[in-house]
């Protein structure tokens, strides 16, 4: 038996109408996801489909880092809808980082860095390297993502970091990368890299304030451990 389409529901019960009338903060996760889906699939309204998706994945976080193969059971859910969901979740992750740039927030501790980047970086499947560029008062100038090299190829990364720091007249830098395994404990390569970037920074009169490794809801700070 085919479920009743949302367009036939009372107006105050339709997710889009509720959002416009009461604001997005008053909607449930199911209602927000239904708005992204826009339409359901054969025999299911967008709300029914959204409810079933959340029953499977439990949270938006779980949904955000799943492979496309995990969605196969939702017959009729095409790639366009999946792209909409993935894009919306990524926008949410980027929001905090962009807001920090605009406000030129001050970084006082490793916890400030974790609050800023942990949610964005903890679920990444590949190792990603970022650098906070700071002014003389530890206020954020920019957050850059280093494209070239990896921890195992330290010299290209170091050249690019120093170049970007000089370009932006940075007084200090904080390096951050993630461990896709979820364990933030530093490898020997991480330790060697930290020594090398500290040495290169000092030559250019730029202060390396910290090197932070992001794991699964936890992080390791070289500065907190007295290793810088």
Last-in-domain residue among 69, 94, 119:
94
Per-residue model confidence as pLDDT tens digits over 23-80: 888 889 999 999 988 888 777 888 888 999 999 988 887 887 777 788 888 887 888 8
Instruction: Report if residue 23 sits inside a domain.
Output: yes
Structure pTM? 0.69
Residues 30 and 108 in one domain: no
Secondary structure element (H or E) that encloses residue 156, with its range: helix 154-167
Q: Are 3 and 48 in contact (CB under 8 A)?
A: yes
Per-residue model confidence as pLDDT tens digits over 84-108: 888 888 887 777 677 767 778 899 9
Q: In what order do the strands lie in the sheet with 140-145?
A: 140-145, 129-134, 172-178, 207-214, 219-221
**Residue range of the domain that includes 12:** 6-94
Last-in-domain residue among 94, 120, 144:
94
Q: How many CB atoms lie within 10 A of CB 157?
A: 23
Selected residue with higher pLDDT from 228 and 101: 228
Residues 46 and 67 in one domain: yes
Residues 216 and 125 in one domain: yes
**Read out DSSP for 33-102?**
HHHHH-S-BTTB-HHHHHHHHHHHH-SHHHHHT--GGGGTTSTT--HHHHHHHHHHHHHHHHHHHHHHHH
Residues 152 and 46 in one domain: no
Instruction: Report if residue 159 sits inside a domain.
Output: yes
Last-in-domain residue among 70, 94, 118:
94
pLDDT at 196: 94
pLDDT at 123: 83
Instruction: Report if residue 226 sits inside a domain.
Output: no
């Amino acid at each position: 038996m085919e479920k009743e389409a949302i367009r036939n529901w009372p107006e105050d019960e339709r997710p889009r109408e509720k959002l416009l009338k009461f604001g997005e903060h008053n909607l449930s996760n199911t209602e927000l996801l239904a708005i992204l889906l826009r339409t359901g699939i054969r025999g299911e309204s967008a709300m029914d489909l959204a409810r079933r998706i959340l029953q499977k994945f439990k949270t938006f976080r779980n949904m955000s880092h799943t492979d496309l193969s995990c969605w196969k059971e939702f017959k009729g859910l095409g790639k366009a809808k999946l792209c909409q969901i993935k894009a919306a979740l990524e926008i949410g992750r980027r929001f905090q980082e962009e807001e920090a740039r605009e406000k030129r927030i001050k970084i006082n501790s490793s916890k400030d860095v974790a609050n800023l980047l942990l949610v964005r970086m903890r679920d990444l499947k590949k190792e990603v390297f970022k650098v906070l560029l700071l002014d003389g008062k530890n206020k954020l100038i920019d957050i850059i993502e280093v494209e070239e090299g990896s921890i195992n190829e330290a010299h290209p990364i170091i050249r690019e970091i120093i170049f970007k720091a000089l370009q932006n007249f940075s007084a200090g830098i904080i390096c951050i990368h993630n461990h896709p395994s979820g364990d933030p404990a530093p490898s020997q390569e991480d330790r060697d890299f930290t020594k090398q970037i500290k040495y290169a920074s000092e030559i250019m009169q730029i202060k390396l304030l910290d090197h932070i490794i992001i794991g699964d809801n936890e992080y390791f700070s070289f500065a907190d451990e007295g290793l810088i």
